[in-house]
Amino acid sequence: MAKILVVEDDSQVRDYLRDMLEWLEHEVIEASNGKEALEILTDGVALVITDIHMPVMGGLEFIRRLKSSHPKLPAIAMSGELDRGDALFAGATLFLSKPLRIQGILAATTRALTP
């Protein structure tokens, strides 16, 4: 199906997302912060799912840099805090609140990948 970059500093959340997305037959690449994500971002990535609060480079800065180099690449931001407006202003396509729910992830992923 699609190649998805998951950017999340919490390994349990990252593993949860990876397992769910791989079950849906997506290829998943992973990064633990925005800086690492920019370094491993490759052509062919169809979607980015990123946390907002991370060390080294947080999600808002990552999304801004991502959108400057890949303006059409959809990005789903996620956070347990009230960051929706900031995330969408930075360029996120969609926003998910934590704790993550399977139906929300599936719906957001499908929506972001649908042209």
Q: State pLDDT tens for residues 49-105.
A: 999 999 999 999 999 999 999 999 999 999 988 678 888 888 999 999 999 988 999
CATH code assigned at 53 = 3.40.50.2300
Number of separate domains in the chain: 1
Q: How far apart are CA 57 and CA 76, in angstroms?
A: 16
Residue 42 pLDDT more than 90?
A: no
Tokens linked to 27: 């290829």
Q: How far apart are CA 17 and CA 1, in angstroms?
A: 16
- 21, 109 Cβ separation under 8 angstroms: yes
What DSSP character marks residue 74?
-
Residues spanned by the domain of 23: 3-113
What element of type H or E holds 16? Answer: helix 11-23
The pLDDT score that the predictor gives to residue 80 is 85
The average confidence (pLDDT) of the chain is 93
Residue 33 pLDDT more than 80?
A: yes
What does pTM read for this prediction? Answer: 0.93
